[in-house]
Amino acid sequence: MPQYNPPIRDMQFLLYEVLDAVPTLQGLPAHADIDADTLNAVLVEGGKFAAEVLTPINLPGDAEGCHLDKTTHAVTAPQGFRQAYAHYVEGGWPALSADPAYGGQGLPLVLNQCFYEMLNSANQAWAMYPGLSHGAYEALHAHGTAEQKALYLPRLTSGQWTGTMCLTEPHCGTDLGLLRSKAEPIIGGAADGSWRLTGQKIFISAGEHDLAENIMHLVLARLPDAPAGSKGISLFIVPKFLVNPDGSLGARNGFFCSALEHKMGIHGNATCQIMLDGAVGSLVGQPNKGLAAMFVMMNAARLGVGNQSLGLTEVAYQNAVAYAKDRIQMRALSGPKAPDKAADPIIVHPDVRKMLLTARAYAEGARALLTYTALQLDVLVSTDDADARKDADDLVSLLTPIIKAFVTDNGWTATSACQQVFGGHGYIHEWGMEQFVRDARINMIYEGTNTIQSLDLLGRKVLGDNGAKLKKFGRLIAEFVEEEGTSEAMQEFINPLADLGDKVTKLTTELGMKAFGNADEVGAAAVDYLRVVGHLCFAYFFARMAKVALDKQHSGDAFYTAKLHTARFYFAKLLPETAMLIRTARAGLTPLMAMDEALF
């Protein structure tokens, strides 16, 4: 069975030595009293919960899956999941970063991000049950009425209830403008204006389960007079059980699970087909403005999905390293490294090390990018400084599609590489590696496929504002290059970073000019372009991490030595991928569209 050791030291390195998070947080009114001791205590206890409670039920939960009673439409999660959720609630974990006005602890979002990385490493399928509640909480916190907030937010904050988002329908995935679910006003309904919803939703993660007493579904549907397309979508709260004004539960709502999806991975999470059969719901926000409200939850989910792949990359790496140190196969080409054994441990073989270091570098780069972005989110939601808020908003907007797509693509590569380290054993369930690969594959698909994220980055976030957001991130790189450009020890990191920054500027300008002539040029280049910019982000953070490690490498702490080795591997073996990507991005539209459809 796989094991998991929470990477708290690396989290602390980023928070305190690279990003200087505590002074940043203390400069925000909501976190003026925060200190490293508080952050550390939460990280340690959160790590214990992940490793000791969630890891043991991950492999058996995947094997068992969820169970649907077709008569009652009730879904039961795998054994141990409900008990783990009760433990989670008792520990106060749902309230970690929630608003104190609704019973939350008000701790920083960056801390919650670190906690959820550990949950995702330990058990991604389980973590999705409470994880979706965070997005529902954020959407309602931003767009709900005072009455809706008072009724629902305290119960989401405590974990008494969970939340979901219900978007996709059988005929439409990302293109939500095609959705058909309808909402009709209830004549003589409740004073708050109730609606009765009909339709079908699919791929609803955690859509039905036995972990909590109620589930608050956020559902997209159309009003009777709604305009066509995405401009005619409204958002509704549709609880599993109707809720009385005092918060007590009433009758079962007309919202039920008709089937469980048969999936490649995340078997422990109930991915449901949902029927809305006259379900009663209340409108959230303005009529026909539901998609904008739901984007609060969708953007949170996109960051969360990147965090899922970070978690899987980390746990796959840890188990592959342990196996590579123990498994003996063949001799090193340069001669025996373990002459007292029948063969050498496979960790001596260069290509095994390449696979391990690829996973390690992708984990450490992703952790740095996600931690930085979560810290920017804290600034965005808590600062009193309008300029700082705008800067944080722009950076989070730019980095969100990169996190979702680049980190999940890398997670698939890394978990596959770690499975390969195990050889034939990696294909066998009890080692856990094939589950990590299967679980990682969905992360590239849901919450907007990675192609959609690439189009969002190049089309909307970069070309859409003439590169303003990208230039803002570019200034961070330029300032760092200027600061470290005269340091001889930093040249191996600074030079390739500066070079890639120049190439991204030129590529962006070139693609923008092509797009003026034919917008499809954006679609031809977007996926390659996102990976190039993703590498630019990783190169920036690896250079910053290397700077700290260089300054402290003589401390005697092997952590810094390992950090430098990983950074050097990244720049030597992974960053050069950008040369190919830039060339393929420049190849343009013609090689893709020249063939007549009949020839396919």
DSSP track, 393-436 = HHHHHHHHHHHHHHHHHHHHHHHHHHHHHTGGGGGSGGGSHHHH
Query: Can 208 be counted among the known catalytic residues?
Result: no
DSSP track, 483-541 = HHTT-GGGHHHHHHHHHHHHHHHHHHHHHHHHHHH-THHHHHHHHHHHHHHHHHHHHHH
Q: Which of 481, 585, 596 is nearest to 527 (CA)?
A: 585
Cα 218 to the chain's mean position, in Å? Answer: 20
| Residue 415, token pair as written in the block | 């978990």
Degrees, nearest 5: CA angle 1-120-10: 95
Query: DSSP state, 1?
Result: -
CB 349 within 8 A of CB 327: no
Whole-angstrom Cα Rg for the chain: 24
Degrees, nearest 5: CA angle 419-423-428: 70
Q: Which of 448, 534, 550, 543 is nearest to 489 (CA)?
A: 550
- 231, exposed or middle or buried, with CB in 10 Å at 0-12, 13-18, 19+? exposed
Q: For helices 577-586 and 491-517, what crossing angle results, to 10°?
A: 10
CB 314 within 8 A of CB 122: no
3-state secondary structure 224-291: CCCCCHHHHEEEEEEECEEECCCCCEEEECCEEEEEECCCCCCCCCCEEEEEEEEEEEEEECCCCEHH
Strand partners, 249: 243
Cα–Cα distance for residue pair 316/421, rounded to 1 Å:
10
| Residue 312, token pair as written in the block | 């899987």
Core vs surface per residue 528-554: b (16+ CB within 10 A) or e: bbbbbbbbbbbbbbbbbbbbbbbebbe
Selected catalytic residue, list 447, 488, 492, 577: 447
Cα–Cα distance for residue pair 111/140, rounded to 1 Å:
22
The residue type of 181 is S
Cα–Cα distance for residue pair 568/155, rounded to 1 Å:
48
Query: Hey, which residues are catalytic here?
Result: 447
